[in-house]
Chain A
Amino acid sequence: MSAQPSMQEMIAAAQTILGNLLRLLEFEDARIETATADGQVFFQIVTADAARLIGRTSQTLDALQFLLNRLLSRQFEESPYCVVDAEHYRERRREKLLADAHEALARVRQNGRPWRMPPLNSMERRIIHQALKDLPDIRTHSEDEDSEGRKRVVISIAEDFQPAGLPPPAEPAPAAPE
């Protein structure tokens, strides 16, 4: 690795790796659409066999994304983070998780009891933590792994929160600046 490689070079290398992996995984028809945003690279894979590519709870997609990033970081000192997606699964999953989180939030605010989300992987848990992190009356934390190595997010009322009046409405409240 001599001169600092350009973003274009690194994207081309990532496309090559991803294309090789898809061929070895026997997705003969796969086509890769590439987009970039905020220094990240997004690969949308178009294939008739998207269900197999995504896998149960997106485990195949996640494995592919993890290995692509590992291989790319072996090639370049500072490689961009790559997101691998198919049928816009990640976008749909994110919307579903946010809807679930806001439903749980409403429940916690109503009855004051902690709510445990279903087991989620680290990327999914991050989406929940991020979505709720600016609410002054709410805390989120991840539980320890269960016997199957899965973790859950727990949503609860912040112990140190002093309500100024009635709790805010249940709808996704924008983080109110103090």
Chain B
Amino acid sequence: MKELIEYVVKALVDHPDDLRIAEIEGERTIVYELRCHPEDVGKVIGKSGKTVGAIRTLLSTVAARQNKRAMLEVVE
């Protein structure tokens, strides 16, 4: 799932080298904390959150296969 986030977000941002994704795994929930270059935050989130929403939707279909919930937070 981290690879999925990485693949999509790297292709969206202008500063892919500044991308950091932390994975915090709980029993039923995995939280991904994404940090990126300040100039790229808008690109990752998208208009009214549409881009990050689409990434979250894809994440949840993979997580559901493992009976888990995946959360993605963009940390400023």
Give the interface of A toward B (CB within 8 A): 17, 20-21, 24-26, 52, 55, 59-60, 62-64, 66-67, 70-71, 74-75
Contact = CB atoms under 8 A, between A and B. Distances in A.
Contacts of A21: 4, 7-8, 58
Contact of A25 (B11, B12, B53, B61): B61
Given A17-B11, A52-B61, A60-B58, 13 more contacts: A21-B4, A24-B3, A24-B7, A55-B61, A60-B61, A62-B54, A63-B57, A66-B50, A67-B51, A67-B54, A70-B12, A70-B46, A71-B8
Contacts of B65: 26, 52
A63 B58 contact: yes
Contact of A67 (B55, B61, B62): B55
Contacts of A74: 11-12
Contacts of B51: 66-67, 70
B59 to A, nearest CB: 9
Interface of B: 3-4, 7-8, 11-12, 46, 50-51, 53-55, 57-58, 61-62, 65
Given A26-B65, A66-B50, A70-B51, A59 B57 contact: yes
Query: Which secondary structure characterizes the binding site on chain B?
Result: helix
A124 to B, nearest CB: 16
B69 to A, nearest CB: 15
A102 B3 CA distance: 45
B4 A24 contact: yes
B50 to A, nearest CB: 7
A24 B61 CA distance: 11
Contacts of B53: 63
B11 A71 contact: yes
A59 B11 CA distance: 22
A59 B53 CA distance: 10
Contacts of A70: 12, 46, 51
Lowest 10 A-B CB distances belong to which pairs? A63-B54, A63-B57, A24-B4, A66-B54, A71-B11, A67-B54, A60-B61, A63-B58, A59-B57, A67-B8
Nearest to A149: B48
B11 A64 contact: no
Nearest to A17: B11
B17 to A, nearest CB: 16
